Amino acid sequence: MTPRTTDRPQMSIEDFEELARCAPETVRLEFINGKVQVKPVPDGSHGQIVMWLIKYCMQRRPELSLFPEQGLKVKGYRKGRAIPDGVLAPDENFVGQGQWADPAGVLMAVEVTSCDRDADSRDRVEKPDAYAATGIPVYLLVDRENNEVRVYADLKDGTYRRVTRRSFGDSVELPGPVGITLDTEKLKEYVD
């Protein structure tokens, strides 16, 4: 049996960071569970959902910012690098940090599914595992394929113990430390 990639990473973190620095602007690279992954460039609806979330969070928690595409150092079996679609953190949380920031201070990671074949494993399995292992208290997945939002929370020992699923149009609680009730009615307008 061939060892899993997580048992034998494709490259070192340093080699990955050099590769990511040299990648063309049309490609976003992540390093999760020991393997390099290409994150699709977002389409217009994807970008609009992120912008809507930025405004929504700012209105309800003005002391926080939803930083789009902030690279994070993520933990897990192998250390990695992820680029969430958004991370909710206190204003100025990432000042002075480079492309790959320490996740300290991050209250929530956000992903919006893209229309590609890897979305299932990347956004629904690997990302929640990586964000939980890193200690990010809440993970919000806007799942355009299934017209629902998923809120991963109740973090304990590097695992989210609760996943709440709500259809677009329903309200969902983003629990502490986020403390926002998200009305998802607007998301119905952004489904392709």
Could you report the per-residue pLDDT of 95-135, keeping only the tens digit for each?
999 889 999 999 999 999 876 666 556 666 788 988 999 99
Tally the domains of the chain: 1
- Inside any domain, residue 109: yes
- Inside any domain, residue 98: yes
- Inside any domain, residue 147: yes
Domain interval for residue 80: 42-190
21 vs 51, more confident: 51
- Inside any domain, residue 13: no
- Inside any domain, residue 11: no
Mean pLDDT of the chain: 85
- Inside any domain, residue 95: yes
Confidence of residue 1 (pLDDT cuts 50, 70, 90): very low
Task: Report the predicted TM-score, pTM, of the whole model to 2 decimal places.
Answer: 0.80
- Inside any domain, residue 5: no
- 94-129 b/e (C-beta count within 10 Å ≥ 16 → b): beeeeebbebeebbbbbbbbbeeeebeebbbebbbb
CATH number at residue 102: 3.90.1570.10
- Inside any domain, residue 19: no
